[in-house]
Amino acid sequence: MYNNHYIKNLLHAFLLSLLLFTLPTSLLAQNTPDSTLKEVNIKTKHKISADTRLNDFAPGQKITTIDSATLRQYQLQSMASLLAQQVPVFVKSYGFNGLSTLNFRGSSSAQSAVLWNGVPISNAAIGIADVSTLPVVFMNKVNVVYGGSSALWGSGNVGGALLLENETPVFDSGKRDLSFGGGLGSFSQYIGNIKGSISGKRWYFSANIFAQTAQNNFPYTNEAGAKTNMPNSALKSDAAMVQAAYKISTQNVISLSAWYQQYDRQIPPALFAPSSEQHETDGSLRLLLDWTKQNTNSKWYAKSSFIQDNSHYRDEDVLLSTYNTAYQYYQEIGWKAQLHQYGQLLLFMPVQITWMQVQNQTKEQDRVALAAAYDLKEFHNRLDIALNARSETINDKGIFLPGADAAYAITNWLSVRANAQRTYRTPTLNELYYSPGGNPDLKPEQGWNEDGGYTVKFNAGRFAIYHDLSVFNRDIHDWIIWLGGSIWTPHNVSEVHSRGVETENTIAYAIGKWRLHIGINTSYILATTVSSYVYNDGSIGKQLPYTPRYSGQANIGFDYKRFSFNYNHTYTGYRFTTVDESEYILPYQTGNVQLMYSTTIGHHSLQLSGQCNNIWNEQYQVVAFRPMPGINWLMGFRIGIL
């Protein structure tokens, strides 16, 4: 039965892929010069992404773009470390080498989307992406979108989205790039990386390989007050990404990307456990075929992807060994056109098929959607309005997800924005069918998300100020939460209300060869239960577990010639671990220092980096009973052949 079902899905996906890649070509072949729109010249903002949805159809959403200098500084680390220290989003970490998930504005980890080149890469079974397994060095662009936008990025995007992109192919005859990088750090941590690319006038090829190993046997104080080293906490991971592209014509490009990684880690004991013999091996294969056709005033694109996620968990203490494999096919075809001088339209159709095996049965979830977005600019491009909508069918259940957002530049240095979106998340395969614990009677989460804010960007010669403030409100019915003792089961909570305020602030000053900067990010979030299906559970009016009310980051540093220094300070407030706020984890603060030096020696570029985390040796936990390491360091280098 399994083989027949697997073959059926494979054929289904192949036919969809064939349709997606032949339909645009056949339609474009029918175009005549008379049907081509006239060329118009309009002012456009700086392109922060290759994803047209982010660039052109989300003017009223809060978007944080991580700059290239910060990406270089964290190139030997994971996305979890980068986001926890530099972005106002709570990263829920289960230990130094444990699972790390995202919490946007009080959302659950399953309500946060992670996309790679426009393709969702969260595990198809659990609906969660472990950001600790995503190497920063693989990504060329990283954007964080706050607030739900289900119409643009799919149902399930309730809290926000992390958008990752690797390098865009560059067609330049004879161009070659090659670099080697490595690092070593505390607790026997060793890291290696090699990346290179070569291109011609019509073709491009790149490869990126990353490997790391660590013992992670950091010292900590157990519940008995004795100091010991963390046992059973070794880590080993390998990852590789290759990309090949071919330029069919001047504006017609097809590319193939393949990303494989394996993450092998021991699971250390919790503070209340005397020992642990737990071990988990996670492997992922991600394949993406991408095609774009860019005309003067229109663009066609199509993408087809296959993702397989494997997980092998074993516990020698109880002789337990389990295997879980989840599959995902994702295909999307889209068309963007400039309708007139100030308006543009986007139409796209995503198809997603996910399935897994549960007790020799195949559980499947199919999604087919048709989405549209319209963007209009008025008043000399000062007003930017976007309307979007998605009609989606999930296993024969139809939903409609409308949204609208807008931005207005009051002056050259002050702009305001607003965003309203309907949100919806169907239960994941694990939430419905996991054995034991799945709940097939779960209802989908649904509600509305609204947010707004303003941005101040002021430049006066050597002096620059950036200030952004956002307020948000989200009301979700049938919120899903896992509860239980020996066997955990997901349940619907009747209604959850999330609201809060976020700020991002930076001041920079340049004098001579010096550039000084100071920045502060703050977040205040109230995410409380309004009503509950469970009688007298004590959650009404209480903060959701693992949602800190207060959190923030501060950065202060300077650049001098080819040397840069930054001190980063993070604060995370109380996290309640029960729905009635009867138990909690104390707040914590960490100080982190980053150093980087870049130079050129002959035909080689050299970059040296250093990072010291938790320099004040804070003893803290992000998740209850999972201690985090004290002071630790990481030193790295990169050599590039010019």
DSSP 78: B
Measured distance CA(288)–CA(569) in Å, rounded: 38
β 160-165/112-116 pair status: parallel
Q: How many CA atoms lie within 13 A of 93 on its CB side?
A: 24
Give how far Cα 464 sits from Cα of 408, 411, 477, 552, Å. 21, 16, 43, 22
Q: Which two tokens stand for residue 543?
A: 């903060």
Q: Which two tokens stand for residue 116?
A: 């790679």
Is the entire prediction scored with pTM above 0.85?
Answer: yes
Strand partners for 593? 567, 612
DSSP 40: -
Look-up: residue for tokens 């800190």?
548
Give how far Cα 2 sits from Cα of 198, 358, 364, 435, Å. 42, 11, 12, 18
**CB neighbour list of residue 226: distance below 8 Å, 6 or more residues apart:** none
Nearest to 338 by CA among 381, 374, 291: 374
- Digit-coded pLDDT (tens) for 548-576: 999 999 999 999 999 999 999 999 999 99
Count CB atoms within 10 A of the CB of residue 429: 21
β 141-146/160-165 pair status: antiparallel
Look-up: residue for tokens 């890649």?
21
Q: Nearest-5° angle of CA 153, CA 155, CA 160?
A: 55
Measured distance CA(467)–CA(65) in Å, rounded: 14
The list of the chain residues with pLDDT below 70 reads 1-46
Q: Please, what are the domains in the chain?
A: 2-641 (2.40.170.20)
Q: What is the pLDDT of residue 223?
A: 82
Q: Which two tokens stand for residue 99?
A: 């699972």
Measured distance CA(637)–CA(182) in Å, rounded: 6
Note whether 255 and 305 are within 8 A (CB): no
**CB neighbour list of residue 126: distance below 8 Å, 6 or more residues apart:** 110, 326, 428, 429, 430
Q: What is the DSSP string of 195-240?
A: EEEEE-SSEEEEEEEEEEEE----EEE-TTS-EEEPPS--EEEEEE
Q: What is the pLDDT of residue 430?
A: 93
Q: Which two tokens stand for residue 261?
A: 């990684």
Note whether 205 and 223 are within 8 A (CB): no
Q: What is the pLDDT of residue 45?
A: 52
Nearest to 239 by CA among 307, 196, 193, 306: 193
Measured distance CA(232)–CA(314) in Å, rounded: 13
Question: Which H or E element spans position 161?
Answer: strand 160-165
β 575-576/563-572 pair status: unpaired
